[in-house]
Structure 1
Amino acid sequence: MRKGVYRQRAGQFALTAIATALSWTLLATPAAAQKRTVSSNGQGAASAMIPSNPDDAFRALREAARKNDVARAYAISATLVDYPVPSYVEYFRIKPQLFDASGLARIDAPDDEVRAFLQRYQGEAIADRMRNDWLLVLGKRRDWANFDAQYPQFVLKDDTQVECYALLSRALKGQNVAVEARALLTEPKNYGEGCVDLIGYLYQSRQITRADVAFQARTALEQNYTTLAGRIAATVPDGAVDGDTLATVVKMARNDPAQAAAYLTASSGSLSRDEQGAGWGVVGQFAAKKLLPDAAGYFRRQVELGGNQWLSTETQEWRVRAALRQGDWKLVRLAIESMRPELRTKDPAWTYWLGRSLAEAGRNDEARQQYQAIASGFHFYGQLASEELGQRITLPPRTQVSDAEAMAMRTRPGFQRAKAFYDMDLRFEGNREWNWELRGMSDRELLAAAEYARRISLLDRTVNTADRTQSQHDFSLRFLMPFRDIMQRATDEAGLDMAWAYGIIRQESRFIMNARSSAGAHGLMQVMPATAKYVARKIGMTDFTPSMMSDPNVNILLGTSYMSMVLTDLDSSQTLASAAYNAGPGRPKSWRTSLSRPVEGAIFAETIPFTETRTYVKNVLSNATYYAALMHGHPQSLKARLGTVVPSQVTTTSLP
């Protein structure tokens, strides 16, 4: 950024006075930072290679904070005393003092500095982030007086580990929190130190049993968090639980469900009926993920034996999916009805499929009740439920906001900070500030914010903000159609459905032109470099270079050309082709070969083994249905778009 623009931005935020006041704070190195600076090869090493451009220095500070490099963060922050977002400069300076290089909370964090920060920036998004960090420190330190004082002020409450510490604090005061803990502890990837500590204390205080601990360890094993599984198992001091029979079943089933089934059968004499049922559930889960025809049979054995309380979330979900693939509607109904209530109601998928299973049993009135419960939702299963009720997909009435309402949003401090971060391509911080500002907005205010985002070309914020409304809607903002002339030309030339193409872009990039995935996919249509080269060669673009993917004309041309290729290669099925665009064309071909009969597209989509691809296909085709309604102005059918997927023999493909 040019120096003049940097100074102008400082004036725009009206934060110069605060920044000047903070300069004295930044010059006083806290004792903990001084100690760590000395141990990090001295201040000179930490100061080396600090960029002279303030924005570049800020990015370097952000990276130092990410690595929890105390000395470097302090050294860089000292050069940014008049930076226009002083709250983030100070946060990035303090945060490395709260966590070590491996990301674990330190117990010697600078409490006084944190308190001063929270007071100075009270009510801002970054203060809530700092409070989140400090709560992790306080929980690890067992400083329950300060934890209990700070926890009610934590707004987002989106950190599972903090929630575990909150339950631990209550449990230490004599409260029974076992029911709440079981409801919370469902995603091992989010546990951290706090949740392991909670599990250990609840076992020691006899609020949960050895079986509960074993279940948590097995759930971690199912998701391949082996180190975490061992730490959970070690919370039982009077006998490890990680070497039990069911843990062995998990390890076997991941690679060979049939071998695990044989081992479980041979070991059944040492297991209770519930444990046997849980074991068959694990075998069924991994067999279902491999799309093996035996999966439904394993799950039937589980249903006969019981043990539902010891089935992980994934096992419960794949029990339904295996039954759907086999067309066993009775097992579909039993599997959904025996789900834990919080899981069953969390995802509208299970409401829809329960309705379908009831309809298959001739219980049509009960089925209609299920459909009606979700039909108003603007999502994949809401659309399908509407069609089951005899209604095609239409758009809600449009609520338009005035120019004055939209432009009033530019004065909001959170949006100002967000825009500054977006201008620096710091989307994580930009999204944090934007989403924080949206809290508590009415539908009309949300639409005004979405329209403001559209006017300043933050198209992903336009879509995400308009998506939040509950009773007033503007689907022209939810389902933007930028670059329409380019899209029309490209899809006409490829003989492609433009609604489907827009559905792909909305899911891939949210219309962020410079979007890049961790795998290297680029631009609006997130085309992989190798795919771009292949498609360019196929369509005769002899002058193609990777840098051209930043041009929307080229990006859309290559993306739609590739869509056309995979659609042709996959029997003109948008369901299969959408899966191919995300996971590669070889995978949906392989998934088809495991079918024993033709299945409706919705069943095929729900039983895709990859979570990312499964979600992707549903969202793309739901998007495309709404885009078609916008473009053509008449009701649409998602079920028709999904079509039917039929079994096929394994075939090779030359497509990347």
Structure 2
Amino acid sequence: MTFNFCSVSMYRFSCFRGPFLHGSQLLRDTLVLLGLSLLFVGPSSAEPLSSPAIIKLPVISDSQQQHYDQARSALRKGKVQQYKQHRQQLDDHPLAIYLDYHYLNDRVRSISANQVADFMARADGSPLAYRLQRRYLNYIGPKRRWRDYLTASPSEPTSTELRCYYHRAQLQQGSKEVGYNGAESLWLSGNSQPKACDVLFEEWYKAGLRTNEQLWKRMLLVFDARERGLLSYLSRKLSGDYHEYGQTLWSVYNNPKQIKNYRQFQRDSGENRAIISAALRKLARVAPDQAVKYWQHYQQALSFDTAHSADIDKQLIRYAYVRNNKKAIEWADSRLAELSSDDLTERRIRQLLKQQDWPALEIAIGSLSNERQQTERWQYWLARIEQQKGLSEAANQRLQSIASGRNYYSYLAAQQLDLDYQLANVPSSVDAVASEQLSQSKGLARIAALMAADQIGDANSEWIYLLRRSSDPERITLSHYALQQGWWHLAISSAIRAQAWDAIALRFPIAYQQDFEQFANMRAVDETLLMAIARRESSYNRYARSPKNARGLMQLMPATAKETARQINLRYRGVSSLYQPNTNIRLGSAYIKRLLKRFNQNRILAIASYNAGPHRINSWLKDDMPQPFDVWVETIPFRETRDYVQAVLAYQVIYALQTGQADFKMLRENELDGVY
């Protein structure tokens, strides 16, 4: 049987990165989930499904599906009696709880707590259970229906507002210890809490449980959260000796340089040490050299314990490097080796690397933990240091030791030694027991039925819940199953959730190959570059949407897509068109081609520009002294962009190996020899 299904309607869906099912794959996905095999020809570029189904789900009869469709239609139209007649026939239908949810959700003001509790028991394992519970609790909480609240929520909810109602309910029902402990936990926050918590906090206060010590502890949290108004309010609530401490903390918040008056802060108390510590952290953000100067005095004058001193050291070291403050850096370097902080050491290493201070760089790498030193990244740079010292044989031996890995630095090492790149592939297999268990999974059955009913957002949520509750063998099996259906992003997310890092077929599927090949040829761009970008950007989730509003497989910003469409004389049909693989790859390929042209076919710069924007790349290229390619990549100021460039280059190697490009080189001569 052959289908050609090329047009789809657009549905609303939640905005987040992660697994998602939608669009033109709908017909194929649904039929396969129901145990049918077919050859699908269309914009998803899926491969023919010829292998036996890994998981076999019960088939929904035509009669049941008709009852479900009619019940859903009746419920939408408010025909309750007609709805109930059809609903009686659907106890075995996997989506019966969806009908129940919508029925109860529309009547949340009139249903009982017992009805909610009963629904949650029947919907266990589905996101619907807590969705209805939250809606019900938000309604009855302000109405102070405490008995009903605890019936519907016998355990503490997760949202702050609902937690406050929960502990008010505990107090009213006689569980004083639970209620007051909850009040204290909620109150000790650096941020203002919702108004729903005010009554709970007031009852806790009236019970005489709010102490100066707790007010002080919260003030320190608020200081670091930079909640200026709340800090001022709390400072006025302190009494006794704490009142003076509160006023002093408030004062140094507004002017942390006050701690230079050593006589004013000579009292060796825990509260005074906390004030000094808070002031130093705030001052270090703008004047790390002054913070270091004051800290050197107070470290000697007051009895800071070892752990507290180390925490302050780390904060000051971090800002010394962030601000590139030369006076503070000299002190920071002297303290860094004693603290055993790999993260801070790596920050300093990159500064030294940018300066190409090879002797200092060797010392800094040597101060990393042994585990961190042994990573391919720092073994590569130790080899580069050996090359600078003329120790070619030692450098080659070190590069040889990392050349069999599957990452950017392993591939750099292999290219330098003229060795073959390695996939380091460890194939995974379907677990027969897991396959049998998943064939009985109500969650997977719901996903199949939701797809058939065009309830795509709900199907995605169910998939996420299913992964959370599955074992690793089940996740691997689900990954194979998703791959079999052509659900590329689901295969990737399942494999990652199972930590199957070496299962290359699952983590790096050959997806949308027809579209990538078509537009790679059209733009004269390597299709593996397009595939690598899409894999990094969206994990082949065609409906991915980033917090910054980038959309689709290649995560195009709407403004960029619109401008690119204008340049290639393509009619732009709005942001919804970016969820179509063909359109997204058409525009994404044109955009990367434009970047390649702008940067003289240098993929390092084009890839960095794709992530951070051309204007930033130009500013980074003008910064400081000229650098070799590897130094420039490792010292890109944005960690996201640095990781992105290295990942895309490595992913391109992985796809080149999978598609048979035996002579592929991760970096070309113009990229290796360029000055950055």
Asked whether the 8 Å contact 2:288–2:320 carries over to 1, the reply is no
1:272 and 2:299 are equivalent in the alignment: yes
Code of the aligned partner of 1:94: Q
Match of 1:433 in 2: 465
Q: How far apart are 1:504 and its partner, in Å?
A: 0.9
Take 1:621 and 1:627, find their aligned partners in 2: how far apart are those partners? 10
Take 2:71 and 2:433, find their aligned partners in 1: how far apart are those partners? 27
Match 2:321 to one of 269, 275, 285: 285
Match 1:625 to one of 625, 645, 653: 653
Give the direction of change, closer, same or farther, for the CA distance of 1:600–1:138 in structure 2 (3 Å limit). Answer: farther
1:3 and 2:75 are equivalent in the alignment: no
Code of the aligned partner of 1:327: Q
Match of 2:534 in 1: 505
Match 1:539 to one of 548, 562, 568: 568
Give the direction of change, closer, same or farther, for the CA distance of 1:334–1:456 in structure 2 (3 Å limit). Answer: same
Q: How far apart are 1:563 and its partner, in Å?
A: 0.5
Secondary structure of the 2:544 match is: coil
1:303 and 2:333 are equivalent in the alignment: yes
Take 2:170 and 2:398, find their aligned partners in 1: how far apart are those partners? 48
1:91 and 2:130 are equivalent in the alignment: yes
Take 1:128 and 1:551, find their aligned partners in 2: how far apart are those partners? 39
CA deviation digits over 1:112-152, x for unaligned, max 9? Answer: 5434xx8xxxxxxxx9989xx9899789999xxx9x99xxx
Match of 1:613 in 2: 641
Q: How far apart are 1:564 and its partner, in Å?
A: 0.6
Q: How far apart are 1:306 and its partner, in Å?
A: 5.0
Code of the aligned partner of 1:285: Y
Asked whether the 8 Å contact 1:621–1:641 carries over to 2, the reply is no
Alignment of 1:241-390 (within 5 A): 243=253, 251=282, 254=285, 260-261=287-288, 263-264=290-291, 267=294, 270-272=297-299, 278=314, 281-287=317-323, 294=324, 298-306=328-336, 309=339, 315-335=344-364, 338=367, 351-359=375-383, 362=386, 378-380=406-408
Asked whether the 8 Å contact 2:538–2:555 carries over to 1, the reply is yes
Asked whether the 8 Å contact 2:354–2:632 carries over to 1, the reply is yes
Alignment of 1:183-198 (within 5 A): none
Match of 1:114 in 2: 153
Code of the aligned partner of 1:441: D
Match 2:595 to one of 553, 558, 566: 566
Give the direction of change, closer, same or farther, for the CA distance of 1:641–1:112 in structure 2 (3 Å limit). Answer: farther
**Structure 2 residue ranges without an equivalent (≥5):** 1-10, 12-67, 73-85, 198-209, 258-276, 301-308
Match of 1:176 in 2: none
Match 1:489 to one of 505, 518, 528: 518
Code of the aligned partner of 2:642: R
Match of 1:155 in 2: none
Give the direction of change, closer, same or farther, for the CA distance of 1:305–1:496 in structure 2 (3 Å limit). Answer: same
Code of the aligned partner of 2:650: S
Asked whether the 8 Å contact 2:336–2:345 carries over to 1, the reply is no
Match 1:554 to one of 574, 578, 583: 583
Asked whether the 8 Å contact 1:277–1:305 carries over to 2, the reply is yes
Take 1:638 and 1:447, find their aligned partners in 2: how far apart are those partners? 30
Q: How far apart are 1:386 and its partner, in Å?
A: 6.7
Give the alignment's Cα RMSD to 1 decimal.
Answer: 6.2
Take 2:541 and 2:400, find their aligned partners in 1: how far apart are those partners? 36
Match of 1:586 in 2: 615
CA deviation digits over 1:398-436, x for unaligned, max 9? Answer: 456599987974532343445567743147733531322
Give the direction of change, closer, same or farther, for the CA distance of 1:456–1:278 in structure 2 (3 Å limit). Answer: closer
Asked whether the 8 Å contact 1:527–1:559 carries over to 2, the reply is yes
Q: How far apart are 1:546 and its partner, in Å?
A: 4.5
Take 2:112 and 2:382, find their aligned partners in 1: how far apart are those partners? 63
Give the direction of change, closer, same or farther, for the CA distance of 1:460–1:128 in structure 2 (3 Å limit). Answer: farther
Give the direction of change, closer, same or farther, for the CA distance of 1:309–1:398 in structure 2 (3 Å limit). Answer: closer
Code of the aligned partner of 2:320: G
CA deviation digits over 1:322-377, x for unaligned, max 9? Answer: 222222345445545556x6xx85xx698334424544565999999998998776
Match 2:548 to one of 493, 516, 519: 519
Secondary structure of the 2:457 match is: coil
Secondary structure of the 2:601 match is: coil
Q: How far apart are 1:544 and its partner, in Å?
A: 5.3
Give the direction of change, closer, same or farther, for the CA distance of 1:304–1:547 in structure 2 (3 Å limit). Answer: closer
Secondary structure of the 1:425 match is: helix
Give the direction of change, closer, same or farther, for the CA distance of 1:592–1:472 in structure 2 (3 Å limit). Answer: closer
CA deviation digits over 1:65-108, x for unaligned, max 9? Answer: xxxxx969989x98x97998475444224346878999xxx999
Report sequence identity in percent: 21
Segment drifting more, 405-414 vs 552-561: 405-414
Segment drifting more, 489-498 vs 7-16: 7-16
Give the direction of change, closer, same or farther, for the CA distance of 1:301–1:477 in structure 2 (3 Å limit). Answer: same
Alignment of 1:395-414 (within 5 A): 395-396=424-425, 398-399=427-428, 401=430, 409-414=438-443
Secondary structure of the 1:589 match is: helix
Asked whether the 8 Å contact 1:447–1:474 carries over to 2, the reply is no
Code of the aligned partner of 1:537: R
Q: How far apart are 1:455 and its partner, in Å?
A: 3.9
Take 2:608 and 2:652, find their aligned partners in 1: how far apart are those partners? 14
Number of equivalent positions: 526
Give the direction of change, closer, same or farther, for the CA distance of 1:620–1:139 in structure 2 (3 Å limit). Answer: farther
- Relative contact order: is structure 1 or structure 2 higher (C-alpha 8 Å, sep ≥ 6)? 2
Secondary structure of the 1:588 match is: helix
Give the direction of change, closer, same or farther, for the CA distance of 1:338–1:283 in structure 2 (3 Å limit). Answer: same
Code of the aligned partner of 2:600: D
Give the direction of change, closer, same or farther, for the CA distance of 1:534–1:263 in structure 2 (3 Å limit). Answer: same
Take 1:278 and 1:529, find their aligned partners in 2: how far apart are those partners? 41
Larger radius of gyration: 2
Give the direction of change, closer, same or farther, for the CA distance of 1:476–1:306 in structure 2 (3 Å limit). Answer: closer
Take 2:503 and 2:438, find their aligned partners in 1: how far apart are those partners? 17
Take 1:465 and 1:500, find their aligned partners in 2: how far apart are those partners? 24
Give the direction of change, closer, same or farther, for the CA distance of 1:549–1:470 in structure 2 (3 Å limit). Answer: closer
Take 2:343 and 2:229, find their aligned partners in 1: how far apart are those partners? 20
Code of the aligned partner of 2:658: L
Q: How far apart are 1:317 and its partner, in Å?
A: 4.2
Give the direction of change, closer, same or farther, for the CA distance of 1:309–1:553 in structure 2 (3 Å limit). Answer: same
**TM-score, normalisation: structure 2:** 0.59
Give the direction of change, closer, same or farther, for the CA distance of 1:229–1:509 in structure 2 (3 Å limit). Answer: farther
Asked whether the 8 Å contact 1:114–1:134 carries over to 2, the reply is no
Asked whether the 8 Å contact 2:380–2:413 carries over to 1, the reply is no
Q: How far apart are 1:264 and its partner, in Å?
A: 4.2
Take 1:558 and 1:515, find their aligned partners in 2: how far apart are those partners? 16
Give the direction of change, closer, same or farther, for the CA distance of 1:556–1:391 in structure 2 (3 Å limit). Answer: closer
Secondary structure of the 2:375 match is: helix
Match of 2:18 in 1: none
Segment drifting more, 609-618 vs 577-586: 609-618
